[in-house]
């Protein structure tokens, strides 16, 4: 009985430590290679792409072409009057994240493939595209994705 109570207490303490971060929407990203590539290193950047976001729910460059292995610096600027984000992922990952953003619209990101920006702010994402195929990007603030704020990175084989 005492062991059961101790396990319950440990479980509750563990969940209390995790729950505030989850409820606030903070999440740390993995730095391992994913289905879309991996975080890039500034020293390996081969190209910089300016990506403006605006309240017309569009990105300034909705289609980007890169070469497999290329490391790109996305310089992202929010030209609008509302918060926007630039989030790279598979379509499935983005849709799953979008559902979370609907529940926690003030979610903060600590992932190398995402940047959330207040109106007028500027940020960057440095990404290495290690696999040929299509990588999606979107603004996942509630309503923005549905309004068409999304795009594609076509990664061509070397």
DSSP helix/strand/coil, 148:
coil
For residue 134, what are the β-bridge partners? 154
As a whole number of angstroms, the distance between CA 132 and CA 154 comes to: 8
DSSP helix/strand/coil, 3:
helix
Rounded to 5 degrees, φ, ψ at 53 are: -120, 140
Closest by alpha carbon to 98, among 57, 145, 65?
A: 145
Please give the pLDDT value at position 104.
Answer: 87
As a whole number of angstroms, the distance between CA 57 and CA 54 comes to: 6
| Strands 114-117 and 71-78, sheet pairing | unpaired
Give the length of the chain. Answer: 158
**Contact present, 31 and 126 (Cβ < 8 Å):** no
Please give the pLDDT value at position 38.
Answer: 96
Question: Tens-digit pLDDT profile for the chain (158 aa)?
Answer: 444 444 444 443 443 333 333 333 333 344 568 899 999 999 999 999 999 999 999 999 999 999 999 999 999 999 999 999 999 999 999 999 999 989 988 877 789 999 999 999 999 999 999 999 999 999 999 999 999 999 999 999 98
As a whole number of angstroms, the distance between CA 111 and CA 104 comes to: 16
Per-domain boundaries in the chain: 28-156
CATH of 28-156, one of 2.60.40.420, 3.30.360.10, 3.40.630.10, 3.50.50.60: 2.60.40.420
As a whole number of angstroms, the distance between CA 126 and CA 129 comes to: 10
């Amino acid at each position: 009985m005492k062991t059961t109570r101790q396990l319950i207490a440990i479980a509750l303490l563990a969940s209390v430590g995790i729950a505030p971060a989850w409820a606030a929407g903070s999440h740390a990203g993995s730095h391992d290679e994913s289905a879309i590539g991996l975080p890039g290193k500034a020293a390996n950047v081969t190209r910089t792409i300016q990506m403006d976001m605006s309240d017309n729910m569009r990105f300034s460059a909705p289609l980007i072409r890169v070469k497999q292995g290329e490391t790109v610096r996305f310089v992202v600027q929010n030209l609008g009057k509302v918060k926007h984000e630039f989030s790279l992922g598979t379509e499935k990952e983005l849709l799953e994240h979008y559902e979370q953003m609907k529940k926690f619209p003030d979610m903060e990101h600590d992932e190398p493939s995402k940047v959330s920006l207040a109106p007028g702010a500027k940020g960057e994402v440095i990404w290495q595209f290690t696999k040929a195929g299509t990588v999606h990007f979107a603004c996942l603030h509630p309503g923005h994705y549905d309004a068409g704020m999304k795009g594609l990175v076509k990664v061509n084989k070397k």
